[in-house]
Amino acid sequence: MDNKNSTKDSLANQLKKAGYSGLFQYGERSLADAVWQDGKNEEALRQIVLHPEYEVYIRLLASEVLYAKNADYPPTDWGDTLAYIYAQALAISGQQEGHFLSGNQWGFMYYADKADIADYGTLGTHLMETETKVVPHLIGLLNNNDLLLYEGSEEATIGNSLKYRVKDAAAYYIGKIAGIPVQFHENHADRDTEIERLKEQLK
């Protein structure tokens, strides 16, 4: 194994071990700086993002470190790659076992809209930046009933009371990107009816 691959694999293991919270949510103990190494690991992080042999969660974490540390990231021609990664990140956010991504990273969405606040969260903001490229990937999530779990005190109380599913978030982001109003409903049955209406409009 050459040094470049060795560096990438070591870095991938470091990212996986730290997880999203370890990289960004522990204040001064956050590990993003240790991964970044004053830019020494930038190229290895870019290669992780680009190479599908790494699992989506690790590619996402590498991308998030690059977003945090390089104001010029991402390159303009990475839209298709990032659209896939961030849509898959939404999908795995509904899985409560394994690689945990909280609902907080996708914002309060419909709830915030009622107060005329655009709240897409960190990951949602980066997903939105891929624009229409992400829509086909999100359409594939419109049947995903997995629940998003919010953390924190007040954030968890509000977020978990909304009972957002992956499909609700996917519909929200499709609506924003495609310019199609998506009405939010309290109960899941009415939301499902709205999602079916959205699917028809997207055909």
- 168 and 80 share one domain: yes
Residues 63 and 125 grouped into a single domain: no
Q: What's the predicted TM-score (pTM) here?
A: 0.95
pLDDT at site 123: 98
Give the position of tokens 């990212």: 15
* Residue 100, pLDDT score: 83
- At residue 53, the pLDDT reads 96
* Grouped pLDDT means (10 residues each) for the chain, 203 residues: 78 95 87 96 98 97 98 98 98 84 97 96 98 98 97 95 98 98 97 98 94
Number of domains observed in the structure of the chain: 2
**Looking at the structure, do residues 79 and 125 belong to the same domain, yes or no?**
yes
Looking at the structure, tell me whether residues 87 and 59 fall in a common domain.
no
Q: What is the residue range of 101's domain?
A: 74-203
Residues 64 and 97 in one domain: no
Residues 121 and 156 in one domain: yes
